[in-house]
Amino acid sequence: MPKPYQAPPRASFLQKLGPGGAASLGLALATALGLLLVPVGFRLRRVVTSAEGDPLECADAILVLGRRLQSDELTPVYEARLAHGESLWRQGLAPRIIVAGGTTGSASRSEAEAGRDWLLARGVPPDVILLEDRSQHTLENLFNVRAHLRAEGWRTLLLVSDPLHLARARATAVGLGLEVRCSPSPGCPPASGSLAWWRRAVLEAFFLHWYHTGMFYSRLIGSERQLERVT
């Protein structure tokens, strides 16, 4: 059986879509507009409530989701994610930190490599840090990390991202059968309640609607090729 589709390094938007991606995006747009944005409003509530995260529990690993670099440097959002992952590790909530993210945009190094270097500079030992450095987006982050978890016999993850990203990250993880607890990075821009925050929340609500639309569409047409990427 061929391996599930994986977007190449520095993938374009169309390359990231993969099999069925364009069709599911079109269906998500059509249903959102045709139903007067009601599906997006429904998902917006989940985005906002999920931003609070879950009660903390010990896990097999902390997963810090990557973020596109700017001129090979970490953005404030990515740095906030890494700082929170480090804090959870120093609290003893997991023995290792997985940093996820491939080479995206115009960067010369992967998001995971940049995150590792930041953690090393903060005094985190090299043997604590594991890399997933092939993925181009959240779905691939979690898909590739799942393979590593299964190989090592690990089950539970503390998933770290910025608050508004957590609803989509959780849905994707649950779809892949991962056991996760989500922890939002505090102080992550944009400021809570600001106009930029609400713009990002609405965008994440649409992305979450797109994810669920894609899952429904793939099951409806019985596409094993599409489902193997998301389940």
pLDDT tens per residue across span 172-185: 999 999 999 999 99
pLDDT bracket for residue 30 (50, 70, 90): very high
pLDDT number for residue 224: 87
Interatomic CA distance for residues 88 and 163, integer angstroms: 16
pLDDT tens digits along 144-176: 999 999 999 999 999 999 999 999 999 999 999
Spatial separation of the C-alpha atoms in residues 79 and 111, rounded to whole Å: 11
**Do 25 and 139 lie in a common domain?**
no
Q: Decide if 75 is inside a domain.
A: yes
Q: Mind listing the pLDDT tens digit for each residue in 86-104?
A: 999 999 999 999 999 999 9
Listed residue (179, 199, 196, 229) closest to 40, CA to CA:
199
| pLDDT confidence band for 4 (50 / 70 / 90) | confident
Is 175 among the domain residues? yes
Can you give the pLDDT at residue 229? 86
- The mean pLDDT value of the chain amounts to 95
Residues 180 and 209 in one domain: no
Instruction: Answer yes or no: is 8 within a domain.
Output: no
Same domain, 37 and 77: no
- pLDDT at res. 2: 61
In this predicted structure, the answer to whether residue 37 has a pLDDT above a threshold of 60 is yes
User: What pLDDT digit, counting tens, does each position of 6-23 carry?
Assistant: 999 999 999 999 888 999
Kindly state whether residues 153 and 138 are assigned to the same domain. Answer: yes
Q: Same structural domain for residues 60 and 126?
A: yes
Residue 1 has pLDDT above 80, yes or no: no
Tell whether 11 is covered by a domain. Answer: no
93 shares its domain with 28: no
Total tally of structural domains belonging to the chain: 2
* Residue 33 domain flag: yes
> Same domain for 76 and 156?
yes
Q: Which of 61, 12, 39 is nearest to 159 (CA)?
A: 61
Same domain membership, residue 169 and residue 86: yes
Residue 34 lies in a domain: yes
Q: Are residues 89 and 116 both part of a single domain?
A: yes
Give the integer Cα–Cα distance in Å for 211 and 145.
Answer: 19
pLDDT tens-digit series, residues 182-229: 999 998 999 999 999 999 999 999 999 999 999 999 998 998 888 888
**Domain encompassing residue 152:** 53-184
73 and 43 within one domain: no
Name the residue with higher pLDDT: 231 or 64: 64
Residues of the chain above pLDDT 70, percent: 99
What would the DSSP string read from start to end of 63-114? Answer: EEE----BTTB--HHHHHHHHHHHHHHHTTS-S-EEEE----TT-SS-HHHH
For residue 84, the domain's CATH number is 3.40.50.620
Which residue(s) pair with 100 in the sheet?
65, 132
Residues 117 and 216 in one domain: no
Q: Are residues 114 and 33 in the same domain?
A: no
Q: Is 1 among the domain residues?
A: no
For residue range 47-83, list pLDDT tens digits in order: 999 999 999 999 999 999 999 999 899 999 999 999 9
Amino acid (one-letter) located at 193: G
As given in the structure block, the two tokens for residue 218 are 């793939």
